[in-house]
Amino acid sequence: MGFPDDFLWGTATAGHQVEGNNTASDFWALEHTPGSRFAEPSGDACDHYRLYREDIALLKELGFTSYRFSIEWSRVEPEPGFVSRAAIEHYRDVLKACHEAGLTPMVTLHHFTSPKWLPDLGGWEGDETPERFAAYCRVVLAELGQLIPYAVTINEANIAVLTRRMIADRPAPDTTEQAPVGADVADALLGSDLPKVFLFAFGEAGPDIAKRAHVLARQAIREVSPTTKVGVTLALQDYQPEPGAEETARERWAEDFDDFLPSIDGDDFLGVQNYTRARLGEGHAPPEDAERTQMGYEFYPQALENVLRHAATAGLPLIVTENGVATSDDTRRVEFIRQATEGVHRCLADGVDVRGYFYWSALDNYEWMFGYRPKFGLIAVDRATQRRTVKDSAHFLGAIAKRNSLT
């Protein structure tokens, strides 16, 4: 039940969700817009901007070999054309802390958030954005590339396609136990003065802007840091059609995956991100007795294996850059991880080229519209004191990483 010697065992975070006080970002502005449907603002988050060394040391102690985190564009370039040396040096120290701890860093250059000035230029539906994003990537890799072995240009480059479909498919929740989704999200965000943020770039131009931004960023990175491996991550669902819905499943996979293949041709790896399955057809809803996560979707760790087998058709090495579950019952997180990693191992046994597994997420963090209620983390965070408490699931996955084996 072993894994390749160089297999990456990691966990992941995103700057806006853990660093705190990302005040120059478009999402900070959205959270504080009057009438916002965000459950709460991000605030201090997990104070990871200050506590990163302690967190990295804890991940190393648990047994992980890699750490995926994001560099915040809005911190590096808070105003158009102005590069913050302080931000560059901060992230240089984060990278050094990873290397000193023996963790291979994987850097995400855009994880949903952008500088708050970008929407004024059209945001992620504006023609200027790909070039501006590539210029930012060039700056970061010219400064820090020697410390960055893996770079993800854009997290979930296809997410606007999925989000638009979710809004079309899902009704607003009928219980206060869930954060606002569906029609409520559309009403709140599409009517906002800042509708062109990456996560909600619903216009026809959005996917093409993301594709072009990735291609230009990859080119810039390779020019200034040729040893850095470059890829992108895609949010991929395990579509399971009922009889008669097979064509719908093919169409959705084509939108989510096939349409991005020309843009990722020549990448060094593809980041695969999956959390559940999607049943299609007349009985498309999860079974009535299905276990639900705190995000409202079905507990279904088997989906990852199915998605990896489909994604292998891209012909690129695959890295599971996100896979996880939101639950207050940590025994279910252990079971989710157990089943998901067993699926990864079966893929490897069948010749699928999987190079790593990163659990989402390291810390209980800010889950965008949902606020702090969903608990994805391997490590709990008391936000009043910022005290970290390691969960059993962290020890479980860390033990797998230490022995590089499931048994």
* Catalytically annotated residues: 156
Give 162-167 contacts, CB < 8 A, sequence gap 24+: 162/235, 162/237, 162/256, 163/199, 163/200, 163/202, 164/202, 165/252, 167/202
**End-to-end distance of the chain based on CA atoms, in angstroms?**
6
Residue 104 φ then ψ, to 5°: -75, 115
β-pairing, 229-235 vs 318-322, is unpaired
Task: Name residue 285's amino acid.
Answer: A
| H/E element, 187 | helix 183-190
Q: Are 112 and 152 in contact (CB under 8 A)?
A: no
Classify each residue of 337-363 as buried b or exposed e, where b means 16 or more C-beta atoms within 10 Å of its C-beta.
Answer: bbbbbbbbbebbeeebebbbbbbbbbb
All residues at 6 or more sequence positions from 193 whose CB lies less than 8 Å from its CB, including other chains: 33
Q: Are 310 and 289 in contact (CB under 8 A)?
A: no
CB atoms within 10 A of CB 384: 6
